[in-house]
Structure 1
Amino acid sequence: MELHTLSTGTLTKASFLQMSERIAPYADAIHVREPAWMAEDTRRIGNDWTFQASLIINDKTPGARESGGALHLPEQATAHSRAVGRSVHSLEAALRCEEEGLSYLFAGPVYPPLSKETKATLGIRQFELICRSVRTPVIAIGGVEPHRIKALKEAGASGVAVIGAVFLSEDPARAACELRRELDA
């Protein structure tokens, strides 16, 4: 199962790179989602990227579409040739995205997120329905913690994506390592 980590939306380029270096040994992909960055920071991040985890740039980050890197799209964004993934929040949205040829879909929030307040969650049953209804690998996002990984695996998750569980942790490397252990168990 894959581990995707997402930045918090409050990091500088330097702090993002510093934290990424610590968590890259445990993550399959590290997403930069920094709406306050300058487009130049986004374009340069790929040049500074030397870590084994893949770098994916969220479309909400200024300069994302001009960066030349892999792109993650929000549910309502227009398609793009460099898009490797998209966020979805319902079965209907997942089915609409099925024909885009994406490498993965983020489905969620499955549980209440650690990084933001929201009342709407998919829940494990709706998440499982999405996993069983599409051919595209589905990655769980929203409230993912180590003790929930077994249930997500049983529901059909191809991986998990986290913001708060790693980037907001006191020890991001240890948190990523713990998630990796649970995913590999």
Structure 2
Amino acid sequence: MNLPRLLVLTDRSQLRLGRGLARTIEECVAAGLEAVVVREHDLEPPARRALVAHLAAIDGLFVISSRTSDPTADAVHLAAAQDPPADGLFGRSCHTREEVGAAARAGASWALLSPYADGVTKPGRDPLPPSAWSGNPIPVFALGGVDPANAAAARERGAHGVAVMGAVMRSPDPSQVVADLLGALR
């Protein structure tokens, strides 16, 4: 599996008023986004399935369903304590190198490791040390406080790539943030 360097995590509650999530992701794909993690845990199951199916129909977009397997998604991303699926690609949220090792032993193909930097969504959690990003048994994505200004440093520290929610979702121009992130990761 050839993982992209950028994952965008969705959170429609952070979008600017009047901005739709599906349209935002479509614009981000036009700017070069290749993978999205669909969170939206508060949606009723039929609405969430419809959203995942809509995004899965976008050419070139790798769709990862968060916490819940979805037949139209390419993979599932699990919380730290969730049991792995019986089959299929999955990743896991981790907060230590030890958790990344456990995820790898359980068969995970990637891990989101956080926090990378000070973030808005989980204030008060100290960023992991620079050594946390290198030497992991599976690709890790730096998550938490990532933006275009610090994305390249995550790769320099050894992260495979970055996972971003707030910097994209809260932006007045999400596709420009995606383009800037991709430029920083090159």
Matched, 1:8 2:11: yes
* Aligned partner of residue 147 in structure 1, secondary structure: coil
* 1:90 and 1:122 in contact (8 A); partners too: no
**Cα deviations across residues 126-159 of structure 1 (Å, max 9, x unaligned)?**
423xx31x22001100011122123211211111
Question: Given the two structures, how large is their TM-score scaled by the length of structure 2?
Answer: 0.84
* 1:110 and 1:127 in contact (8 A); partners too: no
Structure 2 segments unaligned to the other structure (5+ residues): none
Matched, 1:18 2:26: no
The 5-angstrom pairing of residues 34-53 of structure 1 reads 34-49=40-55, 50-51=57-58, 52-53=60-61
**Distance in structure 1 (CA, Å) of the matches to 2:144 and 2:14:** 20
**Distance in structure 2 (CA, Å) of the matches to 1:11 and 1:153:** 26
Structure 1 segments unaligned to the other structure (5+ residues): none
**RMSD of aligned Cα (Å):** 2.1
1:57 aligns with 65
* 1:88 and 1:94 in contact (8 A); partners too: yes
The 5-angstrom pairing of residues 103-114 of structure 1 reads 103-114=109-120
* Aligned partner of residue 57 in structure 1, secondary structure: strand
Flag as ranges the 4+ runs of structure 1 deviating above 4 A: none
Query: What amino acid maps onto 1:15 in structure 2?
Result: G
**Distance in structure 2 (CA, Å) of the matches to 1:148 and 1:181:** 12
**Distance in structure 1 (CA, Å) of the matches to 2:34 and 2:70:** 23
* Aligned partner of residue 149 in structure 2, secondary structure: helix
* 1:42 and 1:67 in contact (8 A); partners too: no
* 1:24 and 1:30 in contact (8 A); partners too: no
**Distance in structure 1 (CA, Å) of the matches to 2:72 and 2:28:** 23
Question: Given the two structures, how large is their TM-score scaled by the length of structure 1?
Answer: 0.85
* Larger relative helix fraction: 1
1:139 aligns with 141
Deviates more, 1:32-41 or 1:117-126: 117-126
* 1:29 and 1:53 in contact (8 A); partners too: yes
Query: What amino acid maps onto 2:62 in structure 1?
Result: S
Shift of 1:72: 0.4
2:81 aligns with 76
Picking from 124, 128, 135, the partner of 1:119 is 124
**Distance in structure 1 (CA, Å) of the matches to 2:6 and 2:143:** 10
1:172 aligns with 174
* Aligned partner of residue 135 in structure 1, secondary structure: coil
Matched, 1:29 2:35: yes
Instruction: Tell me how many residue pairs correspond in the alignment.
Output: 175
